[in-house]
A and B are shown apart, each in its own frame.
Chain A
Amino acid sequence: MKRASFSNLWMPVLLLLPQVSIIFVFFYWPAFEALKSSFYLQDPFGFSGTFVGLDNYFTLFQNAEYLRISLFTLVFTVCVTFFSLALGLLFAVKADKVIRGASTYKTLLMWVYAVAPPVAGILGVSLFYQGHGLITQLFAFFGHEFVIGVNYYDTGFALIAVSIWKQVPINFIFFLSGLQSVPRSIREAAMIDNRSSSRRFWTITFPLLAPTAFFLLITNITYAMFDTFGVIDVMLRSEPGNNPMTLTYKVYVDGFRGGDLGGSSAQSVILMILVLALTIFQFRLIERRIHYT
């Protein structure tokens, strides 16, 4: 890359300023405020605070509910990531084989991606609605009375299902483009070398998709942990009380509805550390990633 040199020191500073100020205002400053307020116990109206050190953190780790929500977040993240990746890959493999009407098929599968998270949430609520939601009726047919918002597991299931549904299209698009970039001659060479199409997939096609799959793994974990907020918010809005929720949603519930700014800040600091760890992991592995070609 060409190295630009500036004779005037102010020029580069001026050019960087918009970017740096945006990052500062929307990331560093709030992050610092969150870190600061996590050491304080605030009064509900936010007018005064008492310095309590790490008490907010200790309280969290001793709180059974917080641990339960952590566990649910883990289950939620694993399920959403795994199933949305698996379904995206399955659809991509199937769509890749379609020759006639391929573009219609692809468009239909990508459609959901254009749905905003809260709208997805509303759709989810109506599908799982007590009594006459489509999926509720399906469960009723098998003899299970599905009550979203009341039964902890039913609600968890609905949250996971809607979140997966929302994420499948983007995985589908990435996997499909990954599949289409596998050279035809390599697939054909494999056809001559291996009779079984499923073994061909796992030994040739899938390894060639691995870079795509890894990238998607990270984005899906991030999605499951943070971007499902909209879906959860709509589906739990009326009664978050006894229902499953993710750590991210808990930050909002405690901070903005419960008025516990200190505890909520401590939670968001923990989440920040998690994101940091995830990012480091991602960069480490991307560096080591094998580049084919």
Chain B
Amino acid sequence: MATVSLKTLQKIYPNGFQAVHGADIEIADGEFIVLVGPSGCGKSTLLRMIAGLEEITSGDLLIGDRQVNDLDPADRDIAMVFQNYALYPHMTVYNNMAYGLRNRKISKENIDKSVREAASLLNLAEYLDRRPSQLSGGQRQRVAMGRAIVREPALFLFDEPLSNLDAKLRNQMRIEIRKLQRQLGTTSIYVTHDQVEAMTMADRIVVLNAGNIEQIGTPDEIYHRPASVFVASFMGAPAMNMMEGKLASGGIEIEGVGLLKSDHKLDANSNVSVGVRPEKVKLTTKANGITQPFIHDFTEELGAARLVHGRLGNKPFVVNLHQEDEVPQGELYATLSPDTLHIFDTETGKRLR
């Protein structure tokens, strides 16, 4: 167990491509950090740099209070779970888990004890003599977990460990991994492109985009106070409604829509992007000061909710209604209360309010 700190960690490939632009992250002991972002955002590169599988171009990486920049992966006191499990196909489940311990000169009895403990924790006790090829996807995933936990490392690294599993198993394993991590209290860094995994598992989320950290925060902060247009539109499904406009006194003027009321205290006349979460919008038939005419196109029924697709003026707009809220008949208005509006600078993409 240990803290981890990344100090302006950079990765520049020999061909000049900069995959990671100075990442700064301080991770507390026992924390579960999720790195999330679209493909090519540098999240896997960052994880692999922490693992020691990619060289660190510049910056400092500390695990505990030890600088590990130039240590071999085996000396960093980490364990990693790979996307395709990376189990040794010629070894039994038992040997897969014991391999890392044997190479660390641990006595046979202790290895046996650790492996059996991990196996019973992961419900693998009856599969110890099997080879990976004789196991199902979920079981292989558990073996990969077991291989990591027997080592009792200071840090767990997960590289999209659930993306090869089917949806049902993924949900189940997600909960299992989270539970196990709480139980063991081991600091963990988890890479995923799945925002549901990020939101549900993380103590804190790190959102990456094109090698830059967009925001570090708790799932709550990321969702309710996104630091940039990118974070706002990347996190949340259905995605946040975004509209371009200009700041005006008492609101934001959106071309083709009208004035959205807002009590912002920002300088007028600058270009902004306004975002509003689909579930924060209500539909009514009565116009008032904070409504905009809503043209209803079609509705998607999701069971627990319904997505109402339409337009505000000429801008596409989605409203997420709870299953009990019917779509009202007649002329529709969308209620956009001022406190639900996220305002971003159009040029920099950064949050203004």
Interface residues of A (CB under 8 A from B): 183, 185-186, 188-196, 199, 203-204, 207-208, 210, 290-293
Interface size on B, residues (CB 8 A): 23
In the docked arrangement, what's the CA distance between A68 and B147, Å?
55
Q: Mark B68-82, 1 if CB is under 8 A from A, else 0.
A: 000011110011101
Name which of B24-32, B83-91, B187-195, B274-282 contacts chain A: B83-91
Interface residues of B in 94-136 (CB under 8 A from A): 99-100, 103, 133
Task: Tell me how far the C-beta of A183 lies from the nearest C-beta in chain B, rounded to whole angstroms.
Answer: 7
Q: Which of A191, A195, A196, A292 makes the CB contact (< 8 A) with B89? A: A292
Minimum C-beta distance from B83 to chain A (A): 7
Contact residues in A for B247 (Cβ distance below 8 Å): none
10 pairs of A and B residues whose beta carbons are closest in the complex? A193-B100, A185-B86, A292-B89, A195-B74, A189-B86, A194-B103, A207-B90, A185-B82, A192-B73, A191-B73
Chain B neighbourhood of A290, CB < 8 A: 90
Decide: A188 and B86 in contact? CB cutoff 8 A. yes
Known: A191-B73, A192-B52, A291-B133. 14 other contacts (CB 8 A): A183-B84, A183-B86, A185-B82, A186-B86, A188-B73, A191-B72, A192-B74, A192-B80, A192-B100, A193-B103, A194-B99, A195-B75, A196-B103, A208-B90
User: Which residues of B have CB within 8 Å of A291?
Assistant: 133
With a CB–CB cut-off of 8 A, which chain A residues contact B83? Answer: 185
Interface check B53, CB cutoff 8 A: yes
Q: Is the CB of A208 within 8 A of B103?
A: no
Contact at B53–A193, with CB atoms within 8 Å? no
* B78 CB contact (under 8 Å) in A192, A196, A208: A192
From A200, which residue of chain B is reached at the shortest CB distance? B103
5 A–B contacts, CB within 8 A, in A order:
A189-B88, A192-B51, A192-B73, A194-B103, A292-B90
* B75 neighbours in A (Cβ, 8 Å): 195
Instruction: Name the distance in Å between B186's Cβ and chain A's nearest Cβ.
Output: 15
Contacts of A293 in B (CB 8 A): 89, 133
A291 to B53, CA, bound (A): 28
Q: Which residues of B contact A193 (CB under 8 A)?
A: 74, 99-100, 103, 147
Report whether A189 and B80 are in contact in the complex, using a CB–CB cutoff of 8 Å. Answer: yes
Query: Are the CB atoms of B82 and A195 closer together than 8 Å?
Result: no
Instruction: Report if A208-B100 is in contact (Cβ < 8 Å); known contacts: A194-B74, A195-B75.
Output: no
Q: Which residue of B lies closest to A192 (CB)?
A: B73
For residue B90, which residue of chain A has the nearest CB?
A207
B133:A292 contact, CB within 8 angstroms: yes
Min CB distance B277 to A, Å, is 38
**How distant is B139 from chain A, measured CB to nearest CB, in Å?**
16
Contact of A192 among B79, B84, B90, B133 (CB under 8 A): B79
Among A185, A186, A193, A195, max chain B CB count under 10 A is at: A193
CA distance A204 to B83 in the complex (A): 19
Which of B53, B90, B99, B133 is in CB contact (< 8 Å) with A191? B53
- With a CB–CB cut-off of 8 A, which chain B residues contact A191? 52-53, 72-74
| A206 CA / B52 CA spacing, docked (Å) | 23
Q: Which of A185, A208, A210, A292 has the most CB of B within 10 A?
A: A185
CB distance from B13 to the nearest CB of A (A): 12
CB distance from A206 to the nearest CB of B (A): 10
A290 and B78 CA atoms in complex are apart in Å by 32
Beta-carbon contact of B84 and A185 below 8 Å: yes
Distance (whole angstroms) from the CB of A265 to the closest CB of chain B: 46
The smallest C-beta distance from B187 to any residue of chain A, in angstroms, reads: 16
Complex interface: chain A residues within 8 A of B89 (CB) = 186, 208, 292-293
What is the minimal beta-carbon distance from A143 to any residue of chain B, in angstroms?
45
CA of A183 to CA of B75, assembled, Å: 22
Point out the residues of chain A lying under 8 angstroms from B51, CB to CB.
188, 192
With contacts A191-B73, A192-B74, A195-B72 known, is A203 near B86, CB below 8 A? Answer: no
- Whether B99 lies near A203 (C-beta < 8 A) is yes
Known: A203-B99, A207-B90. A189 touches B82 (CB 8 A): yes
CA distance A195 to B100 in the complex (A): 10
Residues of B within 8 A of A194 (CB): 74, 99-100, 103
Contacts of B73 in A (CB 8 A): 188, 191-192
